[in-house]
Amino acid sequence: MLRRTLKALDPDGFHDVAYVEWGDPRLRSAVVCVHGLTRNGRDFDALASALAAEGRRVICPDIVGRGKSGRLRNPVHYGYPQYCADMAALLARLDVDHVDWVGTSMGGLIGMLLASRPGHPIRRLVMNDVGPFIPKAALERIASYVSLDPAFPDLEAAEQAFRRTYAGFGDLTDAQWRHLVRHGTVRRADGSLGFVYDPGIALAFTAAPLGDMDLWPAWDLVSCPTLVLRGADSDLLSAETAAEMAERGPKAQIVEIPNCGHAPALMDEGQIEVVRAYLLAEGRPVPFPGSKPVIEPASSP
């Protein structure tokens, strides 16, 4: 695993975009794994390690304002236009012919928006517990914690907060929770621990009243093969939205992951196998043990 950084442009100057790279950097294709709203690229260590062992090059960026990436001088610019532009700069840096994209929540929407544009390099798209319609209630839940900036006296206190905030990740082991906490916190000048993201990312949730997010027009422009993972208890990606995603746009294949809400952490061996099989076999997922049957894409008329 190598740690790298690139300079990306925003309206007020340049900022750093940090990423980790697994596998052979000479390969002309890569898997790009992009995290959720308040998370960072180290969430994908287990998945990236498994894919690298299969001979794949894997790139896991920290979106600006998160992890080891820089922060924007003006938080009003935190949003999908900036995120997509940064990821376009990353793809140019990688010098690849095409990529497979794995995105959790926000990372899935970034992939969807890029894949809706003409000439995109995304060969296959995996969207983890997110879709083109997000209900107001789910956005309000996220808004209730994303602007908080608590200080924790130690890792144990931080871990308890992580377990509450990210309960939807599923039944993680103690070691997996510690991994998330270790890479999801930063030591402050006073010795306390805080979240490793800029509270300014919350501006998009607080600047105006929230409503349903409807991105169906972008979804309908996506044509690459697409796999959608849905946490069985998710409040962000409803079963109805997932079913509609199988009927329109790229007509995605759907796998429902049991014992998870928003969003499956992709750290469990079974969840990793679903993604691995889709990307490395023939673009067809294997059912997760105990999951509902895979929803196959609708047949063309």
249-290: pLDDT as tens digits: 999 999 999 999 999 999 999 999 999 999 987 556 556 555
What are 42-96's pLDDT values in tens digits? Answer: 999 999 999 999 999 999 999 999 999 999 999 999 999 999 999 999 999 999 9
- What is the Cα–Cα distance from 133 to 182, expressed in whole angstroms? 32
299, pLDDT greater than 50? no
Other CB atoms within 10 Å distance of the CB of residue 184:
25
At 291 the pLDDT is 54
User: What confidence category does residue 158 fall into, taking pLDDT thresholds of 50, 70 and 90?
Assistant: very high
Which token pair is 40?
């960072």
Mean of pLDDT over the chain: 94
What is the arithmetic mean of pLDDT over 190-210?
94
pTM beyond cutoff 0.85: yes
Cis peptide bond prior to 263, omega within 30° of 0: yes
pLDDT average, residue stretch 157-173: 97
Overall average pLDDT of the 146-159 stretch = 94
- DSSP helix/strand/coil, 83: helix
CA dihedral 114, 70, 158, 127 (to 10 degrees): 10
Q: 142: closest CA among 38, 260, 33?
A: 38
Residue 281's pLDDT is 72
Per the CB < 8 A criterion, the answer to whether 4 and 19 are in contact is yes
Q: Which helix or strand (DSSP H or E) is residue 16 part of?
A: strand 13-22
pLDDT at 300: 40
82 neighbors 64 (Cβ within 8 angstroms):
yes
The percent of residues in the chain predicted with pLDDT above 90, rounded, is 90
**Rounded to whole angstroms, what are the CA distances from 126 to 70, 84, 184, 188?**
26, 16, 23, 35
Calpha distance 31→101 (Å, rounded): 6
51-to-59, 148, 170 alpha-carbon distances in Å = 11, 35, 22
Quote the Cα angle for 193-199-200, to 5°.
155
DSSP code, position 270:
H
Tell me what pLDDT residue 135 has.
97
* Amino acid 207: pLDDT: 87
Residue 132 has pLDDT above 90, yes or no: yes
111 within 8 A of 215, measured Cβ to Cβ: no
* Encoded tokens for 298: 């609708």
CA separation for the pair 244, 159 (Å, rounded): 37
Specify whether the CB–CB gap between 223 and 250 falls below 8 A: yes
Q: With a cut of 70, say whether residue 185 has pLDDT above it.
A: yes
pLDDT band at 208 (very low <50, low <70, confident <90, very high): confident
Comparing 9-18, 47-56, 183-192, 202-211, the range with the smallest average pLDDT is: 202-211
DSSP 3-state assignment of 187?
strand
Report the share of the chain in percent with pLDDT over 70: 93
221 vs 209, which has greater pLDDT?
Answer: 221
Asked if 67 and 40 touch (Cβ cutoff 8 Å), the reply is yes
Closest CA to 242 of 108, 65, 116: 108
